[in-house]
Amino acid sequence: MAKEPKPLFQPSIIFKNFNMVFSSTGIAYLSLLISMALLTYRFFIYWKEKKDVTSKFFIYFGICFTLFAFFKTITGLFFINNIQVLVASTVFASFIEGLAAAFVAYLIIYLKFPRFRPIIGFWVFFFLGLLATILTITLKPVSPSIEPTGAINWGFSFESPILFYYSLFRALIILITFIPLIFILFQQYLDTTDTLVKKRSFGLGLLLLVGIIIGFIDFLFIQIFHLDAISRDIAMIFLSTLLFVVIFLTQKPTSS
């Protein structure tokens, strides 16, 4: 009887002495974690320089996605055989996305609509994110499994109409907040004559745009393009590396 062919690319690393399996998904999120940690550190430097509302809320934003990447990295590296932990990581991710959107909503109102209280925008999107988290717990939209390549397939599908509307709801929370902030940053890039501000604004706008793409890749990549989960991980590593380069080049601390 012929043996089944082994996969051509199998990045999972098995340490038998420690009985641990590292998934390629964990490695992909580790690359994102490195980029987000650098971004949060740079935001912290800005806050030490300015100590204003804008720099403070950018720190909050950076911390949110650093925590997001951290928990996804830990679960992807050390808990890939624990389905309950993997499912819990998607619940945490939903909450963090809503919290980040709430901080961005506060910033948008603060920067562009000074007549309104920005805290209203924060609470509106915080509760929308909380609702998305409750739906994630209730609907259980994922069914994680490990592919032979060592990548995590989250098992998400749009076959059920309620799951489609759930996905649309989560996507809108991010898009309604992130896209206006991207436009604000690119507008600042076009309007300012300060070279440093120009570089930072363009870099941040590009970061948010790539961040949106990474967020959608996690659940939509496999479903839309019908590819293996390892392809998603490779794409995420590439985009995370791009993020790191953009952060390093455009978000440099001001020289003394």
Summarised one tens digit per residue, pLDDT across range 90-110 is 899 889 999 999 999 999 999
| Residue 211, phi then psi, degrees to nearest 5 | -60, -40
Q: Give dist(CA 197, CA 108) in Å, integer.
A: 18
Which residues in the chain come in under a pLDDT of 50? 1-20, 255-256
pTM for this one?
0.83
**Of 256, 254, 255, 245, which is closest to residue 38 (Cα–Cα)?**
245
Who contacts 111 (Cβ-Cβ below 8 Å, separation ≥6)? 54, 184
The token duo for 166 is 């759930």
- Residue 162 has a pLDDT of 87
Sketch out the chain's domains with CATH numbers: 13-250 (1.20.1070)
Who contacts 18 (Cβ-Cβ below 8 Å, separation ≥6)? none
Q: Give dist(CA 166, CA 142) in Å, integer.
A: 12
Q: Give dist(CA 109, CA 115) in Å, integer.
A: 9
- Residue 33 has a pLDDT of 93
Cα separations in angstroms, 43 against 17, 39, 48, 49, 111: 41, 6, 9, 10, 18
Strands (E), the chain: 13-15, 20-22, 145-146, 152-153
- Residue 102 has a pLDDT of 94
What single letter denotes the amino acid at residue 222?
I
- Residue 12 has a pLDDT of 42
